[in-house]
Amino acid sequence: MLERIQEAADFLNGKMRCHPELAIILGTGLGSLVHEISDKQEIDYADIPHFPVSTVEGHGGKLIIGRLGNRDVMAMQGRFHYYEGYGMKEVTFPIRVMHALGIRKLFVSNAAGGTHPDFKVGDLMMITDHINLFPEHPLRGHNIPYGPRFPDMSEAYSKEWVELAMRLAGEKGWLLRKGVYLGTQGPTYETPAEYRMFRLLGADAVGMSTVPEVIVARHCGMKVLGVSVITNVAASADAVAEASHEEVQQVADAAQPRMTTLMKELINRI
Region near ligand HPA per CB under 6 A, out of 74-82, 94-102, 134-142, 203-211: 203-211
Region near ligand HPA per CB under 6 A, out of 37-45, 71-79, 122-130, 200-208: 200-208
Question: Which is nearer to ligand HPA, 33 or 112 (by Cβ)?
Answer: 112
Distance, CA of 57 to CA of 221 (rounded, Å) = 33
Question: Which is nearer to ligand HPA, 215 or 240 (by Cβ)?
Answer: 240
Question: Which is nearer to ligand HPA, 13 or 236 (by Cβ)?
Answer: 236
Q: How do the residues of the chain divide into helix, strand and coil, expressed in percent and rounded to 5?
A: 35, 25, 40
Q: 145 φ, ψ to 5°?
A: -75, 45
Question: Would you give the binding string for ligand HPA spanning residues 178-197, x where CB under 6 A is met?
Answer: --------x--xx-------
Distance, CA of 90 to CA of 102 (rounded, Å) = 20
Least separation in angstroms between CB 190 and ligand HPA: 5
Site for ligand HPA in 229-258 (CB under 6 A): 231-232, 243, 248
Least separation in angstroms between CB 117 and ligand HPA: 15
29 lines the binding site for ligand HPA (CB under 6 A): no
Note every long-range contact of 37-41, with CB atoms under 8 Å and residues 24 or more positions apart, other chains counting. 37/64, 37/66, 37/67, 37/68, 37/73, 37/75, 38/66, 38/67, 38/68, 39/66, 39/67, 40/64, 40/65, 40/66, 41/15, 41/16, 41/17, 41/65, 41/66
What residues make contact with ligand HPA under the rule CB under 6 A?
A: 111-113, 186, 189-190, 206-208, 231-232, 243, 248
